[in-house]
Amino acid sequence: MLETSPATSIEFVHDLETLTGRECAEARGVLMELRQQWILRNVWAPFYTLGAASYIDAAADYSKYAGFAAQFNPVLHQHFGWLHQRVCEVLSRELGEPVKLAEGLAHPGFHIYLSSKLFEKPIASIHCDSQYLLHEWKDPEADFTRPISFTLPIALPVHGGGLNVWNLAYHELSAAGENANAALLNSRQRTYHPYRAGFMAMHSGHVMHQAAPGRDVQPDDERITLQGHGIFSRGAWRLYW
């Protein structure tokens, strides 16, 4: 039986039991069969996505995002429609409101990191999630004050994977620029949230966070996660990547 802990706040990270070990293995197996469809995202390291990602594609060129979404949404729907449905069910139970896939945006897709010692470096950015600003929401009441972000690990390195989270919220960031915000960040506590395969880590995205560097990466390591965000709009949470 799936269990979730009631959330009193989505400011910090909540783990929601979503997939069994067998389901994680099934999803991983299908993903490996779709390797021809992975998009290489880094020329130096084996980092791929399956699907379009707002923070990469929409940030660079919106027509590229739209093109990838049109290309990969049918692939994701065909092979991982069941997984999207499960994610919607688990989030809906947690949030107490309907959860659907956003129309016209990329479906939640995968980050795929194969093995590389480069992943032991802190190469991932420290950021808050504000991808929703890249999209045109047709509903003027789309609520940007309480977004969600989620990561559902289906395979993790032997020595684990997780999220660094700082006790610093989006609204505290200063318009004074990067140096001021770096000083603010250094003054705040950092905690490490370890991922668990099959458990969806959900948070607001509005606290500073970073994909934590790998620890003693092994040759067979894989770090595979389903990624997405949600905005409440027209009576339901709308999920996208």
Which chain residues interact with Fe ion by CB under 5 A?
129
Q: How far is the CB of 62 from Fe ion (least distance, A)?
A: 19
Select 18 or 204, whichever has its Cβ closest to Fe ion: 204
Select 129 or 221, whichever has its Cβ closest to Fe ion: 129
Q: How far is the CB of 100 from Fe ion (least distance, A)?
A: 21
Q: How far is the CB of 205 from Fe ion (least distance, A)?
A: 6
CB 185 within 8 A of CB 208: yes
Select 38 or 241, whichever has its Cβ closest to Fe ion: 241
Which amino acid appears at position 50 of this protein?
L
Residue nearest to Fe ion (CB): 129
The beta-carbon contacts of 72-77 under 8 Å, at least 24 apart in sequence, are 72/37, 72/106, 72/107, 72/109, 73/106, 73/107, 75/34, 75/37, 75/50, 75/51, 76/50, 76/51, 76/107, 76/108, 76/109, 77/107
Select 18 or 54, whichever has its Cβ closest to Fe ion: 54
Q: How far is the CB of 213 from Fe ion (least distance, A)?
A: 15
